[in-house]
Amino acid sequence: MIPVLQELKHAKRIRYFGITTSSPGQHAQMMDLMRRHPLDFIQVDYSIDNREVATSVLPLAQERHIGVLINSPFGGRRGAASVFGRVSNRPLPDWAAEIDAQSWAQVLLKYVVAHPAVTCALSGTTQLKHLDDNQRGARGRLPDATLRARMEKYWDSNA
């Protein structure tokens, strides 16, 4: 499909094309395609609870100037096993105020979009109040590399 998509782009029938996966088993193949083709974007899973791409796919996307859309920034729909299931009864840590986050959803989204390779995060919800909460995560300060490392440490030891 990639040559077909390249032709469509050349003919100005599409503006961008890219590839997507939610399967870690396809990351090696994805990286091979990222090295061999002029992709405009990729889409992969990434959350504070699922950081595999942070040291593989994301640095390559930065190096190749490929846009990155993030699937499942809350770790996907997993009921009580979801990221929210792990933190919903915990108060926000003090450092949440340093990034103007007023909910766990905002903490989790700010963590994802602050990765330097990430272009945008696609969060899913069935509830208007969650949509409103998530949109607020697009405002205010974002964590720098030091705070992101602190967030990971907090997550790994507490959540």
Residue from 57, 66, 73, 87 in contact with ligand NAP (CB under 6 A): 73
**Position 29 contacts ligand NAP (CB under 6 A):** no
Q: Which is nearer to ligand NAP, 6 or 82 (CB)?
A: 82
CA distances from 85 to 19, 38, 90, 126 (A): 31, 39, 10, 17
**Position 138 contacts ligand NAP (CB under 6 A):** no
Q: Which residues contact 17 (CB under 8 A, 6 or more apart)?
A: 2, 5, 6, 8, 9, 39, 40, 41
Q: Which is nearer to ligand NAP, 63 or 132 (CB)?
A: 132
- What are φ and ψ of residue 35, in 5° steps? -75, -30
Q: Which stretch binds ligand NAP (CB under 6 A): 1-9, 67-75, 94-102, 144-152?
A: 67-75
Q: Of 47, 52, 48, 66, give the one whose Cα is nearest residue 117.
A: 66
| Chain position carrying tokens 């915990």 | 90
**Position 105 contacts ligand NAP (CB under 6 A):** yes
Q: Which stretch binds ligand NAP (CB under 6 A): 25-33, 72-80, 89-97, 139-147?
A: 72-80
In angstroms, the CA 137 to CA 113 distance is 10
**Position 17 contacts ligand NAP (CB under 6 A):** no
Q: Which is nearer to ligand NAP, 12 or 123 (CB)?
A: 123
Q: Which residues contact 130 (CB under 8 A, 6 or more apart)?
A: 105
Q: Which is nearer to ligand NAP, 20 or 144 (CB)?
A: 20
**Position 20 contacts ligand NAP (CB under 6 A):** yes
**Position 134 contacts ligand NAP (CB under 6 A):** yes
